Amino acid sequence: TQLLEQSPQFLSIQEGENLTVYCNSSSVFSSLQWYRQEPGEGPVLLVTVVTGGEVKKLKRLTFQFGDARKDSSLHITAAQPGDTGLYLCAGTYRSRDSGYALNFGKGTSLLVTP
Amino acid sequence: DTGVSQDPRHKITKRGQNVTFRCDPISEHNRLYWYRQTLGQGPEFLTYFQNEAQLEKSRLLSDRFSAERPKGSFSTLEIQRTEQGDSAMYLCASSGTGYSPLHFGNGTRLTVT
């Protein structure tokens, strides 16, 4: 099992602040995905990063994939209450039966207060 | 395309009973995944199908758990002789080929009393 460690586990900030969430592993991943999950719903994909060193931006969210493809970060600028949720990173690897499997980290629970 | 749908949304059962959940994936997706998630944790991988073939099973999946995808379309996950530790959200996801992202359903929340 290829493990992903996310930090911090919990984050409570005020509207307008910036934050960074980290996702680290000792394993190399073929690609890495970030999802956001709200209570009572399934995770929803935010971004996929494939190339080492890749940076992708989605409005106020900036995602970076480490050069060695073992780690990633998510930076949110000027957080808003609507950003509240569980942020999950997930790494893709080739499974034993040559399919593709996805392992999730435990997530970062973000609360943005007005 | 209505996305991935799961049924039921909620299930309360007594310990020792059997339960079965259904997942209908996005129609053109050939991969289907089952995950389990407990409160405050990320989803834990249970099993994965490519078409009707079950390609991988997690060690988390005890002998009481069985999953099928008989025609490569919908899938069922059965838990026999449920235990209180089985209480969790069971998520189904589907995807296309390669590194296609997973599309999740909204899950079935199981409570074992």
For A42, the 3-state DSSP assignment is coil
DSSP assigned state of A81? G
The type of residue at A107 is: G
| CA–CA gap between residue B102 and residue A73 (Å, rounded) | 20
- Per-residue confidence band for A81, with pLDDT thresholds at 50, 70 and 90: very high
The string of pLDDT tens digits covering residues A16-47 is 999 999 999 988 888 899 999 998 899 999 99
- Judging contacts by C-beta atoms under 8 Å, the chain B residues touching residue A43 are 43, 91, 102, 104
| CA–CA gap between residue B13 and residue B31 (Å, rounded) | 29
Q: Does the pLDDT value for residue A87 go beyond 90? A: yes
Phi, psi of B25 (to 5 degrees): -80, 175
For A82, the 3-state DSSP assignment is helix
CB A27 within 8 A of CB A67: no
Contacts of A107 (CB under 8 A, 6+ apart): A6, A9, A37, A86, A87, A88, B40, B41, B42
- Per-residue confidence band for B57, with pLDDT thresholds at 50, 70 and 90: confident
Which of A92, A95, A98 lies at the smallest CB-CB distance from B99? A92
Quote the pLDDT of residue B101: 85
Q: Does the pLDDT value for residue B77 go beyond 70? A: yes
Quote the pLDDT of residue B71: 86
Whose tokens are 């996702």? That residue is A23
The structure tokens listed for B75 are 């899938």
- Per-residue confidence band for B60, with pLDDT thresholds at 50, 70 and 90: confident
Q: Does the CA dihedral B68-A45-A93-A7 come out positive or negative?
A: negative
Quote the pLDDT of residue A99: 61
- Judging contacts by C-beta atoms under 8 Å, the chain A residues touching residue B4 are 42
Q: Which of residues 25-54 of A touch B (CB under 8 A)?
A: 30-31, 33, 40-45, 48, 50
Quote the pLDDT of residue A97: 56
